[in-house]
Amino acid sequence: MAGSSLAQQAYTQIREEILRGKLAVGDVLSRRKLAERLNMSFLPITEALQRLEAEGLVESRPRIGTRVRIPTQQDVLDSYVIREALETQAARLCCSNITASEREHLLKSAKHLDDLYRASATELEDSPFLFSVHTYHLRFHMKIAEFSRSPRLVQSIECEQVLIYNWLYDTVSHRKALPSGFHSNLAQAICSRKLQLADAGMRKHVRFGLEDVMKSIANMEVEKGWRLRRVD
């Protein structure tokens, strides 16, 4: 039980550092250094890295090493396609099933989220405040899914981790500023009781920034057979 708890702690810490940009895309992950910094043995660190690799956030090569995974342009496109499919359906179902109190909650949350993004525009990439903004953003989108009244859809969005990848891509492209009323406009479309408006609003919302992310990924040097000095 203690080992599992330590592995969970290591997983949470490393994952948070990746999403904050503290561990940047392409950074080498030394088990020894991570173990020393987190004051743990190799075992929980190894379990955490294996879990992160299964989720696609890190990658490793036998006898070479482990690093924060560098996404390809196809990875980004695939993630956007899946996210658009899942979240557009969530928006349509939410539009049909949302209650009056949930509608009020969603509109208030959207306004608060827009205010948070505006306030975070000058924050450093790895600041705790910016991390909290991204966390609130993820919860906002998951709330839309929950209001769809489809538990399997919620589960699919969580399992595919499309919101986590979107977070990572925003960090990679250094995008913090968003158009005025970006989330408020989406919430209003979903709360309109008009399915086509909700559908179009979510598609536009998801597709925003894709071009910038693709340019950022294209500018990275992705080595097909990357080599790392043995560091563990």
Residue 66's region, left for phi above 0, alpha for psi from -120 to 50, else beta, is beta
Percentage of the chain surpassing pLDDT 90?
Answer: 79
Phi, psi of 111 (to 5 degrees): -65, -45
Question: Around Cβ 26, how many Cβ atoms within 10 Å?
Answer: 16
Within the chain, what is the greatest distance between any pair of CA atoms? Answer: 58
More reliable by pLDDT, 140 or 128: 140
Domains of the chain: 2-69 (1.10.10.10), 73-217 (1.20.120.530)
The pLDDT value recorded for residue 62 is: 81
Distances (CA, A) of 174 to 17, 62, 106, 178, 217: 15, 32, 27, 12, 12
The pLDDT value recorded for residue 68 is: 95
Task: Give this prediction's pTM.
Answer: 0.88
pLDDT bucket at 1, cuts 50 / 70 / 90: very low
State the average pLDDT over residues 216-220: 84
Percentage of the chain surpassing pLDDT 70?
Answer: 93
**pLDDT above 70: residue 223:** no
Closest CA to 25 of 232, 216, 177: 216
DSSP state of 220: S
